A and B are shown apart, each in its own frame.
Chain A
């Protein structure tokens, strides 16, 4: 708080420092200090990550940037991500940016590999150490037979089940894919099955997975 209330009442002549008038002057300048303080806080809130920017300001700014905070993402980490959002948004629709955003969103549950696979089997993997691996796996025969050449899938390999809703994940991916990629995302469980033919899994929050069990999200058609 600014110090006007503790300074100004003493600046006047002696008669103003009599008890009643002194207290009135003091009370008025407490309010002045509050208003000045509010102004400072308001301005600080417009700078995410700056000292004094509180979570409500960060979340409001994020909302205006179309950026989603991960359910367990630390507010400081999110503020950093928000401060870099201009560049990230300029890469919207890019595969690597999609993978980076997924990683940031799920970071609180650990860092795990994430795959983006197109129907021709071309895979882009964001590794734990942030290296990018591009290789090929078996094509998605069903997609190709249907002529769905932009049926892309995203897989995350985590040892732990992440407690987020299907809708949250869908919205996250919907924000960051290109306009020609349609989402019909589902939270899926591949378990021991062939990983690109996942089985739907519902209501299994909190379950522990085997290491490398491919989960969670399918972005398709």
Chain B
């Protein structure tokens, strides 16, 4: 008997195995329905079913492990590492942002890196300054900050980090001027894309995948990854390859002709590993465009899964999860947007779908902003802008 690949990668449960054993026994004319609940035979079948179910998990792991696209993430990481030689698969990342403090009080403040902590009161996520700063009466200062905790839990829209957690100061107004997006581990899909680009990079003839690979694997002088996740190449036909690059959260800093900068390192990597003779690659940072979202959603009140989310009222939990997922959505949107019936778009229905998928039980999403497709220019990409939402929790009571 031949099994489909889908059957092979799905483990059998103990119940399925037990059912199959009983069916086989019954097919041999033995009545099993009159066996006592704790009869030795029943117990034996029960125990064997559990053991074989564990074996089935192993079988499905072996089956899926042979295929990059079907493997679970740990297997995919191993395949990427040992078949494709990719060692730096993205793991959960800290969210970075710019914090602006305005001194309306009478104090004069200065801080070393990591001394001040800020908070998004809606999510509870904490952020610390990663640059020293000083400011006096009536002055404002802007500096970079990073989340304490990694992952999408640290995602905050513009203006949401508005509490100084420590030290206790008065008369100082705090806000974040850019969105903070924390990323989860690279998904299996992202790992597959990286592996395909890696494979293309074997060619010396400059296929598009080679440019992707070269940009995504560029590192700084100290070996730390620059973190390019988005690459878009164009071919104007004049012998050049304009190559726009960006990280999940924003632009790549620096200048292409200065190898000491991040963008310069990316350009250098492209020239070394992708560019062919008589072709001129031109590396640019993509231009981040904040994507503001205003939505209203309706969902069933009795969906138990939402209640398991941590902290706050159900509306707060839903808004928090939607914010995290919109952050991930923007982080994964390509430079130049998506092409469907039109090009260079982030489609509003895709945004609505991302919101609807964020939590179970959502049955309607209405987007006020963007009110249509979000249009990007070549080289532009979306980053998370201000997000405002209204959550309507509807009881099923009286409905059948």
Q: What's the minimum C-beta distance from B78 to chain A, rounded to whole angstroms?
A: 14
> With A23-B25, A64-B195, A92-B200 in contact, is A182–B235 under 8 Å at CB?
yes
| Docked complex Cα distance between A43 and B68 (Å) | 14
Q: Which of these, B6, B24, B200, contacts A30 with CB under 8 Å? A: B24
B205 CB within 8 Å of chain A: yes
| Docked complex Cα distance between A143 and B66 (Å) | 47
| Docked complex Cα distance between A90 and B327 (Å) | 36
Contacts of A46 in B (CB 8 A): 66-67
Question: Is A42 a contact partner of B238 (Cβ separation < 8 A)?
Answer: no
Question: Is B21 a contact partner of A150 (Cβ separation < 8 A)?
Answer: no
Contacts of A43 in B (CB 8 A): 62, 66
> With A20-B41, A24-B45, A45-B5 in contact, is A148–B67 under 8 Å at CB?
no
Question: Is B2 a contact partner of A41 (Cβ separation < 8 A)?
Answer: yes
Question: Is B240 a contact partner of A180 (Cβ separation < 8 A)?
Answer: yes
| Docked complex Cα distance between A90 and B241 (Å) | 20
Question: Is A92 a contact partner of B209 (Cβ separation < 8 A)?
Answer: yes
Question: Is B56 a contact partner of A94 (Cβ separation < 8 A)?
Answer: no
| Docked complex Cα distance between A26 and B23 (Å) | 12
B208 CB within 8 Å of chain A: yes
B223 CB within 8 Å of chain A: no
Considering the complex, which residues of chain B in the window 106-159 have a beta carbon less than 8 Å from any beta carbon of chain A? none
Interface string of B230-261 (1 = CB under 8 A from A): 00011111111100000000000000000000
Considering the complex, which residues of chain B in the window 54-90 have a beta carbon less than 8 Å from any beta carbon of chain A? 55-56, 59, 62-63, 66-70
Question: Is A45 a contact partner of B70 (Cβ separation < 8 A)?
Answer: no
> With A31-B20, A92-B200, A179-B206 in contact, is A37–B211 under 8 Å at CB?
no
Number of interface residues of A (CB under 8 A): 55
Considering the complex, which residues of chain B in the window 1-23 have a beta carbon less than 8 Å from any beta carbon of chain A? 1-9, 12, 17, 20-22
Contacts of B205 in A (CB 8 A): 91-94, 178
Considering the complex, which residues of chain A in the window 43-61 have a beta carbon less than 8 Å from any beta carbon of chain B? 43, 45-46, 54, 56-57, 60-61
Q: What's the minimum C-beta distance from B190 to chain A, rounded to whole angstroms?
A: 14
Q: Which of these, A147, A151, A179, contacts B241 with CB under 8 Å? A: A179
> With A23-B30, A31-B21, A37-B1 in contact, is A221–B237 under 8 Å at CB?
yes
Question: Is B279 a contact partner of A54 (Cβ separation < 8 A)?
Answer: no
> With A24-B25, A37-B1, A42-B8 in contact, is A89–B203 under 8 Å at CB?
yes
| Docked complex Cα distance between A220 and B66 (Å) | 38
What does DSSP make chain A's interface, helix, strand, loop or mixed?
A: helix
Q: Which of these, B20, B28, B66, B209, contacts A23 with CB under 8 Å? A: B28
Question: Is A179 a contact partner of B233 (Cβ separation < 8 A)?
Answer: yes
Chain B residue at minimal CB-CB distance from A1: B1
Q: What's the minimum C-beta distance from B254 to chain A, rounded to whole angstroms?
A: 22
Question: Is B3 a contact partner of A41 (Cβ separation < 8 A)?
Answer: yes
A171 CB within 8 Å of chain B: no
Question: Is B239 a contact partner of A149 (Cβ separation < 8 A)?
Answer: yes
Q: What's the minimum C-beta distance from B1 to chain A, rounded to whole angstroms?
A: 7
A188 CB within 8 Å of chain B: no
Question: Is A66 a contact partner of B196 (Cβ separation < 8 A)?
Answer: yes
B94 CB within 8 Å of chain A: no
| Docked complex Cα distance between A145 and B211 (Å) | 28
Q: Which of these, A35, A93, A221, contacts B206 with CB under 8 Å? A: A93
B358 CB within 8 Å of chain A: no
Considering the complex, which residues of chain A in the window 85-136 have a beta carbon less than 8 Å from any beta carbon of chain B? 86, 89-94
A77 CB within 8 Å of chain B: no
Question: Is A31 a contact partner of B17 (Cβ separation < 8 A)?
Answer: yes
Chain A residue at minimal CB-CB distance from B196: A66
Q: What's the minimum C-beta distance from B39 to chain A, rounded to whole angstroms?
A: 11
B304 CB within 8 Å of chain A: no
Question: Is B41 a contact partner of A42 (Cβ separation < 8 A)?
Answer: no
Considering the complex, which residues of chain A in the window 1-48 have a beta carbon less than 8 Å from any beta carbon of chain B? 1, 19-21, 23-24, 26-28, 30-32, 35, 37-39, 41-43, 45-46
Contacts of A93 in B (CB 8 A): 203, 205-207, 210, 276
| Docked complex Cα distance between A21 and B238 (Å) | 79
Contacts of A168 in B (CB 8 A): none
Contacts of A146 in B (CB 8 A): 237
Chain A residue at minimal CB-CB distance from B243: A179
Question: Is A92 a contact partner of B238 (Cβ separation < 8 A)?
Answer: no
Question: Is B238 a contact partner of A66 (Cβ separation < 8 A)?
Answer: no
Question: Is B52 a contact partner of A31 (Cβ separation < 8 A)?
Answer: yes
Chain A residue at minimal CB-CB distance from B195: A64
> With A42-B8, A42-B62 in contact, is A24–B44 under 8 Å at CB?
yes
Question: Is B62 a contact partner of A178 (Cβ separation < 8 A)?
Answer: no
A63 CB within 8 Å of chain B: yes
| Docked complex Cα distance between A61 and B192 (Å) | 12
> With A28-B45, A180-B206 in contact, is A35–B56 under 8 Å at CB?
yes
Chain A to chain B contacts (Cβ below 8 Å), 12 pairs: A23-B30, A24-B41, A27-B22, A31-B52, A42-B9, A45-B8, A46-B66, A46-B67, A56-B6, A92-B200, A143-B237, A178-B207
